[in-house]
Structure 1
Amino acid sequence: MPGALGGPRLLLKRLREVMAEPVSAQERLDKTVVLIAANMVAEVCSTYVLRSDDTLELYATEGLNPNAVHLTTMRKGEGLVGLVAKEAEAVATADAQTHPAFSYKPETGEELYHAFLGVPILRAGETLGVLVVQNRAHRVYSEEEIEALLTVSMVLAEMIASGELQALARPGADIAGRRPLHLTGASLAEGVGLGHVVLHEPRVVVKTLIAEDPARETQRLEDAIEGLRDSIDSMLDRGDVARAAETREILEAYRMFAHDRGWLAKMREVIATGVTAEAAVQRVQSDTRARMQRVADPILRERLYDLDDLANRLLRQLTGDGHHVPADRLPKDAILVARSMGPAALLDYNRDSLRGLILEEGGPTSHVAIVARALGIAAVGEVSEITNLVEEGDAIIVDGSAGAVQVRPAPDVEAAYAEKVRFRARRQEQYQALRSLPSRTKDGRDIGLYLNAGLLVDLPHVRESGAHGIGLFRTELQFMIASQFPRTSEQQALYKAVLEAAGDRSVTFRTLDIGGDKVLPYMHKIEEENPALGWRAIRLGLDRPGLMRSQLRALLQAAAGRELRVMFPMVAAVEEFDHARAMMEREIAFLRRHGKPLPDLVKLGAMVEVPSILWQLDEILARVDFLSVGSNDLFQFLFAVDRGNARVAGRFDTLSVPILRALRFITDKAAAADVPVTLCGELASRPLEAAALIGVGFRLLSMNPAAIGPVKAMLMEVDAGELESLVTEHIAAHADKPLRAVLREFAERRGVPL
């Protein structure tokens, strides 16, 4: 590229010096445009910054009227500058005034200039502004000059993203790259967390943009590419990956991208402009992301994730950076942000420092959501693009109750949420005062309130909440967070710790509910067309008797000298329960034969979550000591709705007449057989839904720990008989008005807290 100061490499060095000077943001920007203009042999160089209202504002210029700075604005898409911002691509023309997109701004004095070159200022594919050079002559800008200007724009992108220019913004004209954002997703765990972003797998920060030796940088890039290819090949060669078709497909796509000659050629071209290999990877990925974000095809847009991950892997090869911030060195108010995360990864972090969790993927019934609720941290999932919209250390608020996220919140928003946190704390104090009071309705009906649990961190909640016991202990969570299959002795130690923590309160253990979406990392995954309806839960246990017998033996030994309650999940036919009970009886006989101590009493139950069991209730009730209703799966199967699919999960109301009739049918049958029945799904965790459950006859509810207080406060203010009449009338009439609205009006009239 021709240039008075010796080309882009020297320009980048000069810009680095300017960035280090102790001057104001405006002075730094003014010096930057002067340097670029001189290097490009251009009469004009201007920087436009994108504001939060999608308008571009002139922030600095060399050559145009200086009085136009912070005065000239244009909409995204307006004029040549707006076109660059909208398309996120360079625009070069020898005669700007004849271009169909040209828009004249008289205050700038740009009518003297014909040649125009504008490039987007991009970071992580997001347009932050536009960098422009202009000449009086009808000049044709070369590809080398366009590439050089794009490289220089990376420096401005870092300057804008740092927030340094925000001080120059007028009130109400925040810079787009630092603007406050209100995002929505799915509520995973209730509560509110205020803090700062910690990326679970942070993007590698490229600190050195300018290369001293382009040939060496090219070699570094090729060595890193070779290392990346080798690492992908190694993963593909591993036996466990080879058996997992979905994982293998992703890695095959990675390998295809890693061998793409066009990708490598683009990075070599960028290195030739004088930047480091890391900067070249970042530039090419940002350009690619900007282009693909405008593609309508969802399959192609999904490839963005693959390319982002691949670019990050390549940057780690170049820099040697680790995968994430050490879990034990978090800020005291960490809000963890990730594309996705397993339960074991979340448990690696220091609970005392975590205030919240935000995920791009993961719905309310995902296993990481269950762990988040156990840890008592606010969590929101299904927040699109969150990992690309935030920077490490950004102020952020996660509202798990509303499924909302506030990124870089305005002071008034932050103050409102801080008050909400204080209000919740006061409410929790009020709930604590109810802890020792009986959970009894106004008309004297006792309602048993139990906890859903699955981890050691859940155990203190049993006493803290005043719960009657643990109504559902999910034994599979121990298996899911382990690196290998837990030995019988390890299982026994966990179950014994649970029973000891519960003291004289009852604990109901559910046998392994794995398979479907609950995949153990060390277990061979079976590819199924419809895993939710496939080989899982009791089906897997009966087909792999060694697995179930190991668990039953551990439970029996852990409960020696006390009562043991065990229930089997996803029972679809009474024969399945009979086989499972026979397996338990064989284990009891085995331990007795070997002189091992046994529980004083063993009670066996079944989960009602498969609709077929509704038409076998008389038979199953004659066999069990208790029933538990898994409302999550029962609802899913009744309505043929995949609860993990955001498109259909909210299609039907969980309090609609069909589900209420099914639940009433269960409670009526159980009462007639004098068999206790508990509801242990998510329905029980919200006061309004819990009121409906009392109305259909449930007297035992199991829920997450945070729900005990609110549900207890509700039931102490209601008349169970009134609720039963109200719900019965609603079911019989199949009224047009949803039961939710009816219950809210009822609660408002009676002063019942929901």
Structure 2
Amino acid sequence: MRGGDDRPASPVRPDGGKATTPARAAPPGPRGLLRRLREVMAEAGTVDERLARVVRNIATNMVAEVCSVYLLRNDDLELYATEGLNPDAVHKTRLKVGEGLVGDIAAHARPLMLADAQTHPQFAYKPETGEEIYHSLLGVPILRDNRVIGVLVVQNKTRRQYMEEEVEALETIAMVLAEMVASGQLSGSEDLVAVTRAPTMPFRADGRTLSEGLAIGTVVLHEPRIHVDKTIADDIPHEKQRLDAAVASMRDQVDRMLEAPDSDIVGESRDVLETYKMFAHDTGWLAKLHQAVDSGLTAEAAVQRVQGDTRHRMQAITDPYLRERLADLDDLANRLLLHLAGKPYQSAAENLPDNAILLARAMGPAELLDYDRRKLQGVVLEEGSSVSHVAIVARALSIPVIGGVEGVIARVEPGDMIVVDGDHAQLFVRPAPDVINAFQQSLALRQARLAKYAAQREDPSVTRDGTRVALLINAGLLIDLGHLDETNADGIGLYRTELQFMVRPTMPKAEAQTAIYRRVIDHAGDRPVVFRTLDIGGDKVLPYLGRQVEENPAMGWRAIRLTLDRPALLKVQLRAMLEAAAGRSLHVMFPMIAEVDEFRRARRLLDREVQRLVSLRKPVPLKLAVGTMLEVPALAWQLPALLPLVDFISIGSNDLMQFMFAADRGHPKLADRYDPLSPALLAFLHWVVQQCRSAGKPVTLCGEMGSRPLEAMALLGIGLERLSMPASAIGPVKEMLRSLDVPRLADFMSGLYRSPEHSLRAQLEEFARENGVIV
């Protein structure tokens, strides 16, 4: 029962029935219908009688022979009113969410159009309705606070196709019905109104880990629920005036935010606010709002109507970076609603509880930076991926984040107790006391460890046998710089320059890049910073550069391959780095070099930029060190030719491992299939370290492998003395190495490289236990 596709088309005159409009004529607008619905709800009669008049008016206005309203009651979609179907089916016909076409609309919260509904595989025939004579169907969800509370359907005997204008009109009417249901106007029954409320029972949900960690706190909605109590306008010109005044006020607010001086921790947020400004001044968006008011809606209802339509259209987009614009548009619509309500400065970031857990459909990095980091304990997103901007910022802030938890916002209320377990990608809402106690114990142990690591901040990173190990951090945003001092790290072993490009709506100009790189070097002082040139492509796409559809993006047109093909992009970045480091040291590293010729081509571009500065009599870096990432195994067999040309090597274990084992690290069935402590990978790395040592070239490992104490121990055993890792890993790794005797471990591992075992993890764990190594 019920359903459709998404193909807009022109209507065809139906046979018989109440249809009297000419063929291909657009249906009347909803303005008059909205006025009539308000009158009907004020009329005398029982609830069923008034609702029957509502569907009769909708059918007449929509030139349909059937109009039916299904409402969610006790987890079933119950036929509450109909014009055209058998009236005896009212309150008798029920469908599960997902059952039939009505259930499909409810399950996916999207409109469906079908010219011949009965041929659709999801069609479920209910004989008591008498609908077998109707073929075409248009259905839309009835939504309240982004939760489906029912379905509104129209049908015709002919195999007609519905226009987009008809879909929009029906969605507008459904929005009005939702407000009527929520206010109790249709029923007065708690049984029905309860569908608009979240349940109060405990529940557990799974998602994806975007940032590891554990947090316990209370729910705070990033987008506070803004209820529109009045949907039908009394005075259209007055509503337009209110709308225009609110838009002007909101634009002024966004402009003032941009004019405010940036603080140390929100350097990236200005770029995202520029996106808000672009949307806020978009004339097309304002025109759609005016059209919605013209249809008979209040200014608030018009904003929600356009917001819902935009969300529906953009959710069909699969590109994650384009979908992030949906978060910007949602934020803009919510800002406008607050201005209409006379509360332009209301924000979830204000009056934040001390143990806040933020819930949002999606959000941008600047929005996260608006929150007080001392009070924000965790984040839960209905959308979001590990490469989303907010995930990148959250990891820099050490805030646990779980993404991909669909529908969670509809099941919570502000103030609910919630546990966010970022380590295992799960959350517990309104948990039982024993669950809270268990997680509180885990959290206390975690905090005790962090306090211990902070107390060991000044301890040198020297092993028991006296080996000095350089511990560096991975960074990529200005907010990462504070971790240098917090951890007392030896420097930044990997500065991911692409992150600055990813959090901006447009390509950063040379001056902006220079300012960022200079700020990083200034903060680091005498400590080295290794700048990796743009590593974009693959799973890191810049929307303003366009997206290439590739069968295997990880091995596709990315990193140095892309920037060598677009040399202007690389030249501007190299020029910015050189000018930022004038009179000081500069370390530049090229990513994903697969052969020596690629490094030579990239180095030539760098040398030309140095000569350009010299010819212009501009200062150049006092010392320039140039290296390469070793991620592609083919490059290892060219080390004899490469090492004389480079000043250092940096092993990128993340990509190296997936290329070594031909295993996509993002594939859920392969994520744990190959162990980084396999004898094959350790033997390979041991050989690379020996080659670099023989050539007198320093080698660093900067992948995730070096951030776990046991894996870091193995890396020291193969001869590595430089590790770069997330700032949060410095404490545990330092504690490990200060309890380690490297020569003893190296001797132990020398007999393991030829092992046929899947992994050497068990042997290394046994070594750690027997020798008192803290892993």
Fold match (TM-score > 0.5): yes
Q: 1:565 to 1:152 in 2, by over 3 A?
A: closer
SS for the counterpart of 2:461 is coil
1:407 equivalent in alignment to 2:429: yes
2 CA distance for matches of 1:299 and 1:526? 15
Letter in 2 for 1:567: M
**Contact 2:142–2:177 (8 Å) recurs in 1:** no
The farther-off stretch of 498-507 and 323-332 is 323-332
The farther-off stretch of 312-321 and 705-714 is 312-321
1 CA distance for matches of 2:573 and 2:748? 44
Matching residue of 1:497: 519
1 CA distance for matches of 2:728 and 2:373? 16
Letter in 2 for 1:585: D
Q: Shift in Å at residue 702 of structure 1?
A: 0.4
Q: 1:342 to 1:608 in 2, by over 3 A?
A: farther
SS for the counterpart of 1:329 is coil
2 CA distance for matches of 1:638 and 1:399? 32
SS for the counterpart of 1:622 is helix
**Where do residues 147-186 of structure 1 align in structure 2 (5 Å cutoff)?**
154-155=182-183, 177-186=199-208
Matching residue of 1:445: 467
**Where do residues 341-352 of structure 1 align in structure 2 (5 Å cutoff)?**
341-347=363-369, 349-352=371-374
SS for the counterpart of 2:463 is coil
Q: 1:415 to 1:321 in 2, by over 3 A?
A: farther
The farther-off stretch of 459-468 and 515-524 is 515-524
**Where do residues 75-474 of structure 1 align in structure 2 (5 Å cutoff)?**
85=74, 87-90=76-79, 154-155=182-183, 177-200=199-222, 202=223, 205-208=226-229, 326=347, 329=350, 331-332=352-353, 333-347=355-369, 349-364=371-386, 366-474=388-496
The farther-off stretch of 516-525 and 709-718 is 516-525
Matching residue of 1:579: 601
SS for the counterpart of 1:178 is coil
Q: 1:724 aligns with which of 746, 766, 771?
A: 746
Q: 2:586 aligns with which of 564, 569, 587?
A: 564
Q: Shift in Å at residue 494 of structure 1?
A: 2.0
**Contact 1:161–1:178 (8 Å) recurs in 2:** no
Q: Shift in Å at residue 324 of structure 1?
A: 11
**Where do residues 34-45 of structure 1 align in structure 2 (5 Å cutoff)?**
none
1:681 equivalent in alignment to 2:742: no
**Contact 1:278–1:315 (8 Å) recurs in 2:** no
The farther-off stretch of 120-129 and 618-627 is 120-129
Q: 2:545 aligns with which of 479, 498, 523?
A: 523
The farther-off stretch of 413-422 and 486-495 is 413-422
Cα deviations by residue, 1:687-721 (Å, 9 ceiling, x for unpaired): 22222322333221101111100111112122323
**Contact 2:78–2:93 (8 Å) recurs in 1:** no
2 CA distance for matches of 1:205 and 1:159? 22
Q: 2:725 aligns with which of 688, 697, 703?
A: 703
Q: Shift in Å at residue 587 of structure 1?
A: 1.8
Q: 1:509 aligns with which of 526, 531, 539?
A: 531
SS for the counterpart of 2:511 is helix
2 CA distance for matches of 1:597 and 1:158? 77
Q: Shift in Å at residue 502 of structure 1?
A: 1.5
SS for the counterpart of 2:521 is helix
Letter in 2 for 1:739: L
Q: Shift in Å at residue 185 of structure 1?
A: 3.1
Matching residue of 1:672: 694
**Contact 1:128–1:176 (8 Å) recurs in 2:** no
**Where do residues 727-738 of structure 1 align in structure 2 (5 Å cutoff)?**
727-735=749-757, 738=759
**Contact 2:218–2:356 (8 Å) recurs in 1:** yes
**Contact 2:221–2:348 (8 Å) recurs in 1:** no
Q: Percent identity?
A: 43
Matching residue of 1:54: none
SS for the counterpart of 1:733 is coil
2 CA distance for matches of 1:179 and 1:650? 34
SS for the counterpart of 2:598 is helix
SS for the counterpart of 1:440 is coil
Matching residue of 2:760: 739
1 CA distance for matches of 2:492 and 2:304? 55
2 CA distance for matches of 1:151 and 1:482? 38
**Contact 1:372–1:379 (8 Å) recurs in 2:** yes
1 CA distance for matches of 2:767 and 2:188? 56
SS for the counterpart of 1:671 is helix
1 CA distance for matches of 2:304 and 2:730? 54
Cα deviations by residue, 1:498-544 (Å, 9 ceiling, x for unpaired): 22222221111111212333233433444444433333221222222
SS for the counterpart of 1:724 is helix
Letter in 2 for 1:522: Y
The farther-off stretch of 181-190 and 610-619 is 181-190
1 CA distance for matches of 2:142 and 2:387? 40
Q: Shift in Å at residue 673 of structure 1?
A: 2.3
2 CA distance for matches of 1:91 and 1:745? 67
Cα deviations by residue, 1:162-184 (Å, 9 ceiling, x for unpaired): 9x99xxxxxxxxx9812222223
Letter in 1 for 2:580: A
Q: 1:208 to 1:127 in 2, by over 3 A?
A: closer
SS for the counterpart of 2:739 is coil
Q: 2:639 aligns with which of 607, 613, 617?
A: 617
Matching residue of 2:625: 603
Q: Shift in Å at residue 661 of structure 1?
A: 3.4
- Structure 1 unmatched ranges of 5 or more: 1-6, 15-34, 42-82, 102-114, 130-146, 166-174, 228-254, 289-297
Q: 1:210 to 1:471 in 2, by over 3 A?
A: closer
**Contact 1:449–1:708 (8 Å) recurs in 2:** yes
**Contact 1:330–1:353 (8 Å) recurs in 2:** no
Matching residue of 1:250: none
**Contact 1:336–1:358 (8 Å) recurs in 2:** yes
2 CA distance for matches of 1:446 and 1:421? 32
Q: Shift in Å at residue 124 of structure 1?
A: 6.5
The farther-off stretch of 575-584 and 656-665 is 656-665
SS for the counterpart of 1:177 is coil
1:549 equivalent in alignment to 2:571: yes
Paired positions, count: 589
1 CA distance for matches of 2:737 and 2:482? 24
Cα deviations by residue, 1:387-435 (Å, 9 ceiling, x for unpaired): 4443455433323333332223334434444444443332222112222
Matching residue of 2:13: none
2 CA distance for matches of 1:719 and 1:569? 33
Matching residue of 1:133: none
Letter in 2 for 1:439: S
**Contact 1:128–1:177 (8 Å) recurs in 2:** no
SS for the counterpart of 2:637 is helix
Matching residue of 2:497: 475
2 CA distance for matches of 1:398 and 1:664? 39
**Where do residues 2-17 of structure 1 align in structure 2 (5 Å cutoff)?**
none
1 CA distance for matches of 2:345 and 2:718? 49
Q: 1:698 to 1:85 in 2, by over 3 A?
A: farther
**Contact 1:189–1:377 (8 Å) recurs in 2:** yes
Q: 1:620 to 1:339 in 2, by over 3 A?
A: farther
Matching residue of 2:661: 639
**Contact 1:187–1:402 (8 Å) recurs in 2:** yes
Cα deviations by residue, 1:115-171 (Å, 9 ceiling, x for unpaired): 9xxxx9996687999xxxxxxxxxxxxxxxxx9999876457999999x99xxxxxx
